[in-house]
Amino acid sequence: MKWKLAAEPDESIVKHLEKELNIPYKIARLLARRGITDYEQARKFFKPNFTDIYDPFLMKDMDKAVRRIEKAIENDEKILIYGDYDVDGTTAVAILYSFLKDYSPHLDFYIPDRNKEGYGISFKGIDYAKENNISLIVALDCGIKAVDQVNYAKEAGIDIIIGDHHTPGEQLPDSYAILNPKQKDCPYPYKELSGAGIAFKIIQALNQRRGNTIDKIIPYLDLLAVSIAADIVPITDENRTLMYFGLQQLNLSPRPGLKVLMKSMMKNEWTVSDLVFILAPRINSAGRMDHGKHAVELLIEPDERKAEELGMALEDNNRQRRETDTNITEEALQIITEHLDPDQYTTVVYDKNWHKGVVGIVASRLIEKYYRPTIVLTYSETDDLWVGSARSIKNFDLYAVLDSIREHIYQFGGHKFAAGLSVKPEKLKDFIHAFEEKVKETMPEEMREPELEIEEELDLIDITPKFYRLLKRFAPFGPGNMKPVFYTRDLRDTGFAKIVGKENNHLRMFVMDGTTKSSLVAIAFNQADKLPIIENKQTFSAVYQIDENHWNGRVSLQLKVKDIKPGNPFQQESEGQ
């Protein structure tokens, strides 16, 4: 990987923060890089408060949407909460459904079948509403491009409120109300809410209209935290506040459905990373391997014994998902090895027998091996289409590329770095060619090499318990506030380095720096091959995060090493120039 030092922060701001907050200079530099310039911004960052959450009625159409929901409740209308089958969609549905069930006995929810209906509002879903005399649909985490489906619903006399966070197209659906901060004329001050974030704003608005305090809706923040983590939205501004209190709720008093999924892991404290890698895949597995409605059933279940049964089914789904995506990844890697040009800018692989539910995961795994924008497709006999998922690399706008070659695509939607799409069989070859050519045309050459961004150079003497305590307060970490990555040069192993792990694939070291002669334990996962770089007391540089090591009841600081290079790469680079 290419090592890159982050841009220097404004020194006057750093000095101001250091003095005003009475914090170490290096901590002040980290804050300045996060756009924090004064005491009040630092207060909001370190001590989020519910007063930092925005008024939901600042969102365009919120008042209109809430009045329509209240009218439906008053008139005993049937309401359908409609959502996507992924984590964001199912948690969004669970939030709004759980809140409204206290006020409306005529409530139902609908999650489309991934294989039979695909992503978003489906005609089949609207037919379900017609057959069940439903007069109001609230669509969450989808719908912003469902122009034809909304018209179909209107013809049937059904009102649709769209609560979506995806990028709108040129034409908006003619729905009763649209809640989406990314609309051009929406004045809502924060644009990066998740789909479940929109659902939360709806219940916040309904709650305010009833004269209740925010305490009543705090129990829904456990679901929202899972959504924010799983959908990889920035954990900044309002999302940071919602995640901060959501993690508190999740750790102190999670709902039965989440408690069941968390129980087997025996963790003392759940973090954003745990939600991404442990909870989210389990919730997602329902929609991937069976049906997304089972995830909602679990998340809205108030009875712990029933939740246990539903949770066991999701654990089975997750086991199947792991096996399936491992097998397909191996097949895809073989195709790439045998048939694709290693100099290509993109990877597009497809097979008629692959499981539609895991192609997105497979695309992400392929990027780990071959660092380039990747699309994995399988064939849908029902629709006679190649359908699948696209994933991008750091800082490259994949959505813009797909939009620019839309004449080759039947349907697509998503974000900058992840999208779903479908392509007609007769257009597949042309699409693959156009995708490669457009990426080649728009991607800077330097972006093709994976990059490890370093926030700060440290001497080991800087890494004290006080420094780490302050660093922990930077959490919750995520996009927009990643866990800081540090760099130290002129390191030597003291002679105790060894290869560890069941498969002998990790490298454990006891490192000392040449400047301060301070030392620390370091662990480099899956980097046993770096042992020759550090043997015989050779000097090397390491990029790492600071972590705690818990062993036999003792807690100590350690370096979690991300990469090792001989000597000082930055010095070599400048000499080379």
> Are both 399 and 460 inside the same structural domain?
no
pLDDT tens readout for residues 389-434: 999 998 899 999 999 999 999 988 877 888 889 999 999 999 999 9
Asked whether residue 327 is domain-assigned, the answer is no
Three-state SS string over 3-32 comes to: EEECCCCCHHHHHHHHHHHCCCHHHHHHHH
186 closest CA partner among 36, 319, 58? 58
pLDDT over threshold 90, residue 339:
no
* Same domain assignment for residues 507 and 376: no
Give a yes or no: residue 396 inside a domain.
yes
- Residue at a domain's end among 314, 349, 371: 314
Quote the DSSP letter at residue 132: T
Q: CB burial class (10 A; 0-12, 13-18, 19+) of residue 105?
A: exposed
First to last CA, the chain: 19
**Considering 417, 448, 479, which residue would you say is the last residue of a domain?**
448
| Total domain count, the chain | 3
433, 364, 438: which is closest to 394 by C-alpha?
364
User: Does some domain include residue 163?
Assistant: yes
- Where residue 526 sits, what CATH number does that domain have? 2.40.50.460
Confidence check: pLDDT of 577 > 50: no
- Burial state string for 226-254 with b = 16 or more CB within 10 A and e = fewer than 16: bbbbbbbbbbbbbbbbbbbbbbebbbeeb
Q: Which residue has the tokens 């999208």?
A: 419
Q: What's the Cα-to-Cα distance from 275 to each of 231, 358, 548, rounded to whole Å?
A: 11, 19, 19
CA atoms of 236 and 35, how far apart (whole Å) = 11
pLDDT tens digit string along 161-219? Answer: 999 999 898 899 999 999 999 999 999 999 999 999 999 999 999 999 999 999 999 99
Residues 6 or more apart from 127 whose CB is under 8 A from it?
none
- Dist. CA 434–CA 66, nearest whole Å: 44
Question: What is the percent of the chain where pLDDT is above 70?
Answer: 99
**Cα–Cα distance between 462 and 189 in angstroms, integer?**
38
Say if residue 350 is in the same domain as residue 235: no
Same domain, 175 and 233: yes
Number of H helices, E strands in the chain: 21, 19
What does the mean pLDDT of the chain come to? 93
Residue 425 domain-assigned (yes or no): yes
Residue 33 lies in a domain: no
Together in a domain, 165 and 98:
yes
**In a shared domain, residues 211 and 308:** yes
- The yes-or-no verdict on residue 515 having pLDDT over 80 is no
pLDDT value of position 41? 93
> Is this model's pTM higher than 0.85 or not?
yes
Residue 323 lies in a domain: no
d(CA 22, CA 5): 26
Range of the domain at 200: 56-314
Residues 6+ apart with CB under 8 A from 15: 28
CATH of the domain at 139: 3.90.1640.30
The residue-averaged pLDDT of 293-306 equals: 96
**How far is 455 from 463, CA to CA, in rounded Å?**
15
The answer to whether residues 64 and 83 belong to one domain is yes
Of the ranges 104-118, 296-310, 547-561, which one carries the lowest mean pLDDT score?
547-561
What does 496-515 look like in DSSP terms, one character per residue? --EEETTTT-EEEEEEEETT
Domain endpoint, select from 448, 469, 485 = 448
Q: What is the pLDDT of residue 193?
A: 97
CA 251, CA 156: separation in Å to the nearest integer?
45
Could you tell me what percentage of the chain is helix, strand and coil, using 3-state DSSP and rounding each to the nearest 5? 45, 20, 35
Q: Judge if 358 and 300 occupy the same domain.
A: no
Degrees to nearest 5, angle at CA 197 with 194 and 199:
120
pLDDT cut 90: percent of the chain above it = 84
**Among 507, 505, 509, residue whose Cα is nearest residue 493:** 509
Residues 81 and 95 in one domain: yes
Which two three-digit tokens encode residue 122?
Answer: 């489906």
pLDDT confidence band for 573 (50 / 70 / 90): low
User: Are 89 and 140 part of one and the same domain?
Assistant: yes
Residues 254, 222 contacting (CB under 8 angstroms)? yes
Q: How far apart are CA 89 and CA 280, in angstroms?
A: 12
Confidence at residue 169, expressed as pLDDT on a 0 to 100 scale? 84
CA–CA dist 375, 356 (Å, integer)? 12
Give domain status of residue 24, yes or no.
no
Measure the CA dihedral 479/91/117/314, to 10°.
Answer: 100
* Assigned domain for 25 exists: no
* Half-sphere exposure at residue 335, Cβ-oriented, CA atoms within 13 angstroms: 14
Residue 4 has pLDDT above 70, yes or no: yes
Question: 507: which strand partners?
Answer: 499, 524
Find, among 132, 134, 141, the residue nearest to 112 by Cα. 141
Q: Could you give the CA distance from residue 457 to residue 513 in angstroms, rounded to a whole number?
A: 12
Give the residue from 560, 577, 459, 447 showing the smallest Cα distance to 517: 459
Let me know whether 182 and 265 are in one domain: yes
Taking only the tens place, the pLDDT of each residue in 344-362 is 999 999 999 999 989 999 9
316 CB-side CA count, 13 A: 9
Residues 267, 349 share a domain: no
